[in-house]
Structure 1
């Protein structure tokens, strides 16, 4: 195979993967070390065109980060992400994050408080709990952004 032909073949093979990576939305996730559900949520993001990077933090520093960035105590979950200027707290589905990024409301971001079974990263077989995704306003108030039914 000629060098140019080999280069062209390699470009055709790797270009789609490179483009997909370039199209992925950078996402910085702060979490505690060894949290399996955080890693599972990050995998959910990867499957949905996000590019998550994880940063392990001690629990006290993670709580301080949440408070300093406008997450009300009643909205807290196990991990916190920064995505295009928004805070995403907990097991928020990727589709809701995409909607947030498209609509661009004036807000802190989204939250799924606690760790409901069946939310992304909390998949436990067929059992799911009903849960809401909340929009956190800049004044700390919240409203339902999306609702998911349990089974």
Structure 2
């Protein structure tokens, strides 16, 4: 009888561990915030840019519906949309009246969508380790996502130490 109780306890414990373990073994950081809600985004990039294509893949992994616009020169669009020159990167996107410049993580874009005051997010340059610049073997550098609000004020929207 005691052996039967011990066996039952072990089976119950094993079942609990099997059910509970996935709750503690979260997705990699870059997959956090994935939800079923779809967001449509227009991305403008040059045809030759490989990291832009990889960033688009990152967006799609986060349930963005990407309209990919290949253009000869993205600079006129950046100027038209008011992207500060110190915030320039290789691609520009538009979503729900907001401008996204560079390798901004999908999670930051989703967070900004709920903030009406934010007009622009940017990751200036091409930071190794940011989405789209996270090639195998590439160093993972810390980076910041900067925001520009409706008053033109620039601030740090989010920071990533090991994306």
Which residue does 1:79 correspond to in 2?
Answer: 91
In 2, the alpha carbon distance for the partners of 1:91 and 1:39 equals 11
Show structure 2 runs of 5+ residues with no match: 1-35
1:137 aligns with 2:117: no
1:109 aligns with 2:123: no
1:48-67 to 2 correspondences below 5 Å = 48-59=62-73, 62-67=74-79
Contact 1:29–1:81 (8 Å) recurs in 2: yes
State the TM-score, normalized to the length of structure 1: 0.78
Q: Give the paired residue count.
A: 127
Q: Which moved more, 1:23-32 or 1:71-80?
A: 23-32
State the TM-score, normalized to the length of structure 2: 0.72
Q: Hey, which bits of structure 1, 4+ residues long, moved more than 2 A?
A: 137-141
Q: Which moved more, 1:130-139 or 1:110-119?
A: 130-139
Q: Alignment RMSD, CA only?
A: 1.7
Structure showing greater radius of gyration is 2
1:118 aligns with 2:129: yes
